[in-house]
């Protein structure tokens, strides 16, 4: 079994007012273990205790009862912070510093030698795509840029555990994809990532395991793959086949033979994210206007691109009656409904 | 009398002595008692908090808890404090005398007459030991964590404060605000020529104090609260940063910034001062750094308890000695006793400078001052008051006769000889031989500082041997100066700093910077106070607390009077009573139940104020403006003691800040 990086036992946080009266139970007896090398997602609606958990793990709050350990040390221990990188929800950095100065400052807090600090700062600025803005003060940065430099400061110490609070908050789709790729890259480097996010698709895309909190209580904990798997439904994908009533009837007959029922049948839709990224990528290759406003004779011209018939695919939308579609790889592919996530990871 | 004819020299008017090395043992003892008392209270609160709210899940590292050493020291301190209480009770039983139970509402609270007995002394030392134990106990986690502090991190945090102030244009605002005050005062106001530099120095000091203290207070008060509000602190405390490093970083950052600004502006103001033409009289008064040797002032007359006469002036800074005629001389003398004589005074004639106040009971002659005789004697030439005549004479009359004979032969007897006189060599020789020098009929003018040259031989005589007192316990002054007023019906008013021996001259420019160190200390106090408060309070409240304490420090004397119950009109409740009843300050109040309640409330108020008074910084102690503006050298001793004072004051605040920061939930 992998080494545990984060461990909470009966971790409880009760907020009290000035007179010590209980105001809110933010977290109730949380038992959680996060293992080395995994991406762990904390999910839950507002006020469910996600951020409280992270703050307790970082020593920003003290538990009312229970214990929190990070790398086997109590959460309030300062030394453990040597191995942690933290990106807060909003990138709370000094806005009068520029990117280089910001990384230099946080590098100094880790007591990193000057030459290493300079080299690492330059690499990180390059990595987060701010090379051209390294001398601009953060006040002039957009929210996305601040999130990028925030991530860079979280990585300045080459941490073993990266804690990300709403990492894609404020990022555009390009930035979101970049952030998700980076999180996966961190995992591939052997780092442990703990993230919490409101954006379920982001969590689904990158997390190995998730915990769902509601009102301070842990509701569900487990692998994303297992939790999302619908064992009663079968997904079938095929390419180079026309969507005809005859095919539908044949498939229904085959399924009926094995005791199943055809519930949906049609072309899959891509995600909006994929569509957006593809258009941006194409625009980079071929600059210029591509959008044609609708005219009397050409109403459909407003559509910038036809529904994807190639590229990455997503599982059929429930509203879409078509259960299967063509696959870019050209080969038929049948899998459980949740397996599309692993397919995406492979692509990246 | 044309005042320009008289050399215009400065004089220091100090209502209390600057604190020097000699005061350190007493100060340390008081500090141990006062800080120890606060530490003991803090210790009790901390232990109550620790035992009433045990650490979650038994994890001892969640918050700083009560360690074994802390507990042991706390118990020891409690035992010692209990002993001190017992000793004080025993001492009070021993010295208790039956007192009248009649209430005299107008009588100020009687000051405890210090009859220090063995029990009192033991109780005093027990309080010191208890205090030290309590301080060590409360500071134990702080000291333990000090070794974890890393200068690089503190430096990084200090740099941030520095950069923040510069990027947010605080520095620019400061310079713009302070700049107009740095120019010579005569450009803006009509000032007497001799006061030109004095006024400039005072205005610069006042302006820099106001602007810099305000800015320092604002920056330090809002820094940590702003970090908490903007949540920038979240990205800092989640790094391997000890929380006290944040406090230390902020404190040092602002201190460095204000140091730079202060000394930059000081240099600039000095440059302006030196580039403009300075009036000759002003230069003679202020553009100097005299190194004086002060003596202790005493009074002697026929009455044993004579301590100078009060002439009814409201400001009782000076005491007066009456003048007399030759036929009916006054026995009253103002005597300065010098216990320390530097060997450098034996090289050349030593100027003795002085400035007295004149109180006339009859109208004097126009353009004429009063006349005084000055007698300088070494310890080898003791003086005494003649039993029948109002004349001071030598104890050794045979020697006196011998001296008189020699002096008459050399035509220097009862004459006022100056160093440029050919007879000066004989004066020197006589002074060295007999340890005696007199300067008669010196005309003295109101508040004009004058000078007499004293032969170096007198000091050679005084330093030739070490005096030994009969009982070995009383120290014998090496040199004494007897001042007698010889104008009948006139009085001269004297204060300890009105007469001194001028040892040497320092450099004004250096002294000007030394004066800035006093302001620097006050800046550090404000930054330290504001930073410590801001670890728990909001920015606005921290600023107000720092300002309140600092301003209270400016009125410390008044607060002390209130705390001791020596203020005229009583405490606030008695004063309110008088206000409502339309009574004057001195009217005796009837002991009605209301008055009794007011008096009791005042007693409670005074008790609280006596505790509070230890929290007030003694900011006046750091003000050296008078020294610079009057052209007196600030001795390094004073500045070193100032620094020690500063450390002593800020150390308890640092420990408080440590606890507040460490136990604070940053994200709550």
Q: What is the pLDDT of residues A47-56, one digit of tens each?
A: 889 999 999 9
Q: Clarify whether residues A195 and A254 are in a common domain.
A: no
3 state DSSP class of B308 = coil
Return the number of other C-beta atoms located less than 10 Å from residue B380's C-beta: 17
Give the span between the Cα atoms of A79 and A75, in whole angstroms: 10
| Residues of B with Cβ-Cβ distance to A116 under 8 angstroms | none
Of A61, A88, A101, the CB nearest to B665: A61
Cα nearest neighbour of A18 on chain B: B668
Distance in Å, alpha carbon of A65 to nearest chain B alpha carbon: 4
Residues in a beta bridge with A35: A4
| Residues of A with Cβ-Cβ distance to B49 under 8 angstroms | none
Strands A73-74 and B392-394: unpaired
In a domain, A297, yes or no: no
Cα dihedral value B287, B292, B295, B299, nearest 10: -30
Residue A234 has pLDDT above 90, yes or no: no
CA distances from B341 to B291, B430, B458, B499, B502 (A): 13, 19, 11, 15, 11
Token code pair at residue B461 = 């005589």
> Given CB atoms, is B156 within the 8 Å cutoff of chain A?
yes
Task: Say if residues B196 and B186 touch (Cβ distance below 8 Å).
Answer: yes
3 state DSSP class of B383 = strand
| Residues of A with Cβ-Cβ distance to B61 under 8 angstroms | 73-74, 76-77
Q: Clarify whether residues A201 and A249 are in a common domain.
A: no
Place of tokens 């120095």: B201
- DSSP letter string, B18-77: PP-GGGHHHHHHHHHHHHHHHHHHHHHHHHHHHHHSPPGGG-TTSS----HHHHHHHHHH
Residues in a beta bridge with B370: B444
> Given CB atoms, is B59 within the 8 Å cutoff of chain A?
yes
Mean pLDDT of A287-300: 60
Task: Say if residues B284 and B452 touch (Cβ distance below 8 Å).
Answer: no
Per-residue model confidence (pLDDT) at position B17: 77
The DSSP letter of residue B574 is H
Distance of CA B594 to the CA centre of its chain: 40
In a domain, A219, yes or no: yes
In a domain, A298, yes or no: no
Measuring CA to CA, which residue among B626, B633, B3 is closest to residue B281? B3
Highest mean pLDDT among A133-147, B243-257, B350-364: B243-257
A–B CB contacts, 8 A cutoff, strictly below: 105
Q: What is the 3-state secondary structure (H, E, C) of chain A?
A: CCCEEEEEEEEEEEEECCCCCEEEEEEEEEEEEEECCCEEEEECCCCCCHHHHHHHHHCCCCCCEEEEEECCEECCCCHHHHHEEEECCCCCCCCCCEHHHHHHHHHHHCCCCHHHHHHHHHHHHHHCCCHHHCCCEHHHCCHHHHHHHHHHHHHCCCCCEEEEECCCCCCCHHHHHHHHHHHHHHHHCCCEEEEECCCHHHHHHHCCEEEEEECCEEEEEEEHHHHHCCCCCCEEECCCCCCCHHHHHHHHHHHHHCCCCCCCCCCCCCCHHHHHHHHHHHHHHCCCCCCCCCCCCCHHHHCCCCCCCCCCCCCCCCCCCCCCCCCCCCCCEEECHHHHHHHHHHHC
Phi-psi region of B127 (alpha: psi -120 to 50; beta: other; left: phi over 0): alpha
In a domain, A304, yes or no: no
Q: Clarify whether residues A119 and A244 are in a common domain.
A: no
Return the number of other C-beta atoms located less than 10 Å from residue A254's C-beta: 11
Strands B350-354 and B499-506: antiparallel
Which domain, by its residues, includes A116? 4-228
> Given CB atoms, is B53 within the 8 Å cutoff of chain A?
no
- The phi and psi torsions of B499 (rounded to 5 degrees) equal -140, 135
Please name the helix (run of DSSP H) or strand (run of DSSP E) that holds residue B289, with its range, or none: strand B289-294
CA angle, B170 then B209 then B648, to 5°: 100
pLDDT in tens, A251-270: 999 999 988 888 888 887 77
Mean pLDDT of B28-53: 88
Mean pLDDT of B372-382: 92
Domain ends where: A184, A202, A228?
A: A228
Distance in Å, alpha carbon of A9 to nearest chain B alpha carbon: 9
> Given CB atoms, is B101 within the 8 Å cutoff of chain A?
no
Give the span between the Cα atoms of B516 and A177, in whole angstroms: 59
Lowest mean pLDDT among A62-66, B182-186, B624-628: B182-186
Tell me if B234 and A88 make a contact (CB, 8 A cut-off). yes
Q: Clarify whether residues A32 and A125 are in a common domain.
A: yes
- Residue B158 burial (C-beta neighbours within 10 Å; 0-12, 13-18, 19+): buried
Residue A16 has pLDDT above 60, yes or no: yes
Tell me if B57 and A9 make a contact (CB, 8 A cut-off). yes
Per-residue model confidence (pLDDT) at position B116: 59
Of A78, A111, A137, the CB nearest to B152: A111
Give the span between the Cα atoms of B655 and B40, in whole angstroms: 13
Place of tokens 């301070």: A216
Return the number of other C-beta atoms located less than 10 Å from residue A267's C-beta: 17
Q: Clarify whether residues A127 and A50 are in a common domain.
A: yes
Token code pair at residue A293 = 């406003």
Give the span between the Cα atoms of B255 and B154, in whole angstroms: 13
Measuring CA to CA, which residue among B166, B147, B137, B144 is closest to residue B46? B137
Q: Clarify whether residues A139 and A265 are in a common domain.
A: no
Confidence of residue B421 (pLDDT cuts 50, 70, 90): confident
Measuring CA to CA, which residue among B556, B505, B641, B623 is closest to residue B201? B623
pLDDT in tens, B275-314: 888 888 788 778 889 999 999 999 999 888 888 888 888 7
Of B59, B167, B665, the CB nearest to A96: B167
3 state DSSP class of B598 = helix
Give the span between the Cα atoms of B647 and B643, in whole angstroms: 6
Distance in Å, alpha carbon of B224 to nearest chain A alpha carbon: 13
Token code pair at residue B477 = 């002054």
Domain ends where: A228, A257, A272?
A: A228
pLDDT in tens, B494-543: 999 999 999 989 999 999 999 999 999 999 999 999 999 999 999 999 99
Task: Say if residues A79 and A248 touch (Cβ distance below 8 Å).
Answer: no
Per-residue model confidence (pLDDT) at position A2: 73
Cα nearest neighbour of A9 on chain B: B57
Give the span between the Cα atoms of A128 and A93, in whole angstroms: 16
Give the span between the Cα atoms of B237 and B219, in whole angstroms: 21
Residue B165 has pLDDT above 60, yes or no: yes
Lowest mean pLDDT among A96-105, A156-165, B658-667: B658-667
Q: Clarify whether residues A112 and A199 are in a common domain.
A: yes
Confidence of residue A89 (pLDDT cuts 50, 70, 90): confident
The DSSP letter of residue B589 is P
Tell me if A111 and B241 make a contact (CB, 8 A cut-off). no
Q: Which of A60, A91, A93, A146 best tests the B interface by mutation, with the highest count of B CBs <10 A?
A: A60
Q: Clarify whether residues A209 and A319 are in a common domain.
A: no
Q: Clarify whether residues A75 and A158 are in a common domain.
A: yes
3 state DSSP class of B335 = strand
The DSSP letter of residue B543 is H
Lowest mean pLDDT among B60-74, B187-201, B335-349, B419-433: B60-74
CA atoms lying within 13 Å on the CB side of residue B87: 18
Tell me if A10 and B667 make a contact (CB, 8 A cut-off). no
Q: Clarify whether residues A248 and A153 are in a common domain.
A: no
* Signed CA dihedral, B230, B232, B237, B242: sign only: negative
Of B156, B159, B665, the CB nearest to A62: B665
CA distances from B451 to B333, B334, B424 (A): 19, 17, 16
Those residues with Cβ within 8 angstroms of residue B528's Cβ, 6 or more apart along the chain or in another chain: B220, B251, B649, B650, B653, B654
3 state DSSP class of B275 = helix
Mean pLDDT of B427-437: 92
In a domain, A109, yes or no: yes
For chain B, the structural domain boundaries read: 24-149+556-629, 318-494
Task: Say if residues A160 and A5 touch (Cβ distance below 8 Å).
Answer: yes
Q: How many helices (H) and strands (E) does chain B have?
A: 19, 14
Token code pair at residue A85 = 């990188």
Cα nearest neighbour of A79 on chain B: B240
pLDDT in tens, A173-202: 888 888 999 999 999 999 999 998 878 888
Confidence of residue B263 (pLDDT cuts 50, 70, 90): very high
Residue B630 has pLDDT above 50, yes or no: yes
Domain ends where: A193, A212, A228?
A: A228
Tell me if B235 and A88 make a contact (CB, 8 A cut-off). yes
Highest mean pLDDT among A115-124, A290-299, B277-286: A115-124
Give the span between the Cα atoms of B9 and B95, in whole angstroms: 51
| Residues of A with Cβ-Cβ distance to B156 under 8 angstroms | 105, 108-109
> Given CB atoms, is B250 within the 8 Å cutoff of chain A?
no
Please name the helix (run of DSSP H) or strand (run of DSSP E) that holds residue B457, with its range, or none: helix B456-463
Per-residue model confidence (pLDDT) at position A172: 83
Report yes or no for ipTM above 0.90.
no
Token code pair at residue B117 = 């007995």
Q: Clarify whether residues A23 and A128 are in a common domain.
A: yes
Q: Which of B150, B240, B244, B248 best tests the A interface by mutation, with the highest count of A CBs <10 A?
A: B240
Q: Clarify whether residues A168 and A183 are in a common domain.
A: yes
């Amino acid at each position: 079994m992998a080494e545990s990086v984060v461990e909470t036992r009966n971790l409880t946080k009760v907020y009290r007012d000035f007179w010590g009266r209980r105001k809110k139970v933010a977290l109730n007896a949380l038992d959680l273990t996060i293992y080395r090398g995994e991406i762990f997602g904390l999910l839950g609606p507002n006020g469910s205790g996600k951020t409280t958990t992270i703050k307790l793990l970082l020593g920003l709050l003290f538990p009312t009862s229970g214990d929190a350990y990070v790398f086997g040390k109590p959460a309030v221990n300062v030394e453990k912070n040597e191995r942690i990188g933290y990106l807060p929800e909003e990138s709370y950095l000094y806005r009068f510093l520029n990117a280089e100065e910001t990384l230099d400052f946080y590098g100094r807090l880790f007591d990193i030698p000057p030459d290493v600090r300079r080299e690492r700062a330059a690499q990180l600025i390059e990595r987060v795509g701010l090379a051209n803005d390294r001398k601009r003060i953060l006040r002039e940065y957009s929210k996305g840029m601040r999130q990028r430099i925030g991530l860079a400061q979280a990585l300045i110490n080459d941490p073993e555990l990266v804690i990300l609070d709403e990492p894609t908050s404020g990022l555009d789709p390009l930035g979101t994809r970049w952030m998700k790729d980076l999180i996966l890259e961190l995992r591939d480097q052997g780092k442990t990532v703990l993230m919490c996010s409101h954006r379920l698709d982001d969590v689904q895309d990158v997390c190995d395991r998730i915990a769902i909190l509601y009102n301070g209580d842990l509701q569900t904990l487990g692998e994303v793959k297992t939790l999302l798997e619908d064992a009663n439904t079968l997904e079938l994908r095929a390419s180079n086949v026309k969507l005809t009533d005859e095919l539908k009837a044949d498939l229904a007959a085959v399924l009926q033979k094995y005791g199943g029922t055809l519930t949906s049948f049609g072309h899959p839709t891509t995600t909006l994210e994929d569509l957006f990224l593809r258009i941006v990528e194409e625009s980079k290759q071929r600059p210029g206007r591509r959008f044609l406003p609708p005219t009397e004779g050409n109403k459909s011209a407003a559509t910038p691109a036809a529904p994807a018939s190639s590229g990455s695919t997503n599982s059929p939308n429930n509203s879409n009656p078509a259960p299967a579609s063509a696959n870019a790889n050209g080969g038929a592919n049948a899998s459980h409904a949740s397996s599309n996530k692993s397919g995406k990871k492979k692509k990246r | 009398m044309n005042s320009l004819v008289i050399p215009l020299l400065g004089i220091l008017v100090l209502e209390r002595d600057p604190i020097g090395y000699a005061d350190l043992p007493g100060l340390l003892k008081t500090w141990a008692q006062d800080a120890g008392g606060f530490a003991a209270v803090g210790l009790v609160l901390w232990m109550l908090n620790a035992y009433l709210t045990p650490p979650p899940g038994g994890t001892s590292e969640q918050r700083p808890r009560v360690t074994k050493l802390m507990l042991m020291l706390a118990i020891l301190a409690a035992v010692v404090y209990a002993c001190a209480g017992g000793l004080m009770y025993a001492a009070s039983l021993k010295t208790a005398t039956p007192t009248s139970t009649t209430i005299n509402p107008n009588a100020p609270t009687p000051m405890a007459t210090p009859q220090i007995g063995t029990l009192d002394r033991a109780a005093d030392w027990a309080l010191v030991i208890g205090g030290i134990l309590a301080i060590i106990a409360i500071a134990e986690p702080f000291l333990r964590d000090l070794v974890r502090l890393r200068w690089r991190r503190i430096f990084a945090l200090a740099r941030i404060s520095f950069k923040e102030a510069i990027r947010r244009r605080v520095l620019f605002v400061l310079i713009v605000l302070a700049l107009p005050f740095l120019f010579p005062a005569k450009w803006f106001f009509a000032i007497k020529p001799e006061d030109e530099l004095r006024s400039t120095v005072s205005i610069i000091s006042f302006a820099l104090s106001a602007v810099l203290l305000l800015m320092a207070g604002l920056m330090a008060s809002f820094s940590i609260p702003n970090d908490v509000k903007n949540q920038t602190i979240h990205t800092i405390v989640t790094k391997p940063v000890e929380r006290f490093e944040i406090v230390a970083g902020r404190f040092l950052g602002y201190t460095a910034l204000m140091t730079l600004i202060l000394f930059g502006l000081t240099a600039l103001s000095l440059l302006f001062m030196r580039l403009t033409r300075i009036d000759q009289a002003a230069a003679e008064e202020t553009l100097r750094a005299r190194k004086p040797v002060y003596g202790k002032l005493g009074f002697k007359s026929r009455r044993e308890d004579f301590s100078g006469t009060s002439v009814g002036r409201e400001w009782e800074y000076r005491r007066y000695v009456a003048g007399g005629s030759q036929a009916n001389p006054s026995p009253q003398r103002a005597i300065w006793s010098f216990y320390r004589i530097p060997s450098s005074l034996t090289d050349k004639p030593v100027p003795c400078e002085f400035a007295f106040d004149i109180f006339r009971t009859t109208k004097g002659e126009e353009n004429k001052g009063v006349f005084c005789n000055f007698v300088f004697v070494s310890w080898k030439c003791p003086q005494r008051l003649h039993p029948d005549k109002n004349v001071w004479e030598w104890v050794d009359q045979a020697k006196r006769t011998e001296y008189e004979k020699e002096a008459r032969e050399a035509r220097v007897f009862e004459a006022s000889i100056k160093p440029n006189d050919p007879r000066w060599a004989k004066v020197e020789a006589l002074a060295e031989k007999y340890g005696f020098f007199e300067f008669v009929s010196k005309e003295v003018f109101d508040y004009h500082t004058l000078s007499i040259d004293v032969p170096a031989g007198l000091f050679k005589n005084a330093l030739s041997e070490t005096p030994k007192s009969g009982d070995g316990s009383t120290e014998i002054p090496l040199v004494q100066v007897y001042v007698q007023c010889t104008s009948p019906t006139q009085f001269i008013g004297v204060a300890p700093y009105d007469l001194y021996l001028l040892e040497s001259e320092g450099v004004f420019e250096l002294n000007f910077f030394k004066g800035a160190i006093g302001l620097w200390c006050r800046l550090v106090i404000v930054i330290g106070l504001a930073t410590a408060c801001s670890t728990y309070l909001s920015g606005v409240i921290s600023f107000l607390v720092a300002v309140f304490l600092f301003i209270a420090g400016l009125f410390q004397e008044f607060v002390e009077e209130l705390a001791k119950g020596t203020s005229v009109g009583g405490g606030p409740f008695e004063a309110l009573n008088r206000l409502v009843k339309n009574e004057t300050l001195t009217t005796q109040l009837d002991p009605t139940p209301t008055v009794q309640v007011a008096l009791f409330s005042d007693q409670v108020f005074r008790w609280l104020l006596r505790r509070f008074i230890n929290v007030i910084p003694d900011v006046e102690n750091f003000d050296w403006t008078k020294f610079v503006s009057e052209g007196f050298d600030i001795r390094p001793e004073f500045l070193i003691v100032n620094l020690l004072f500063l450390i002593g004051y800020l150390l308890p605040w640092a420990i408080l800040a440590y606890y507040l920061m460490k136990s604070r939930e940053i994200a709550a």
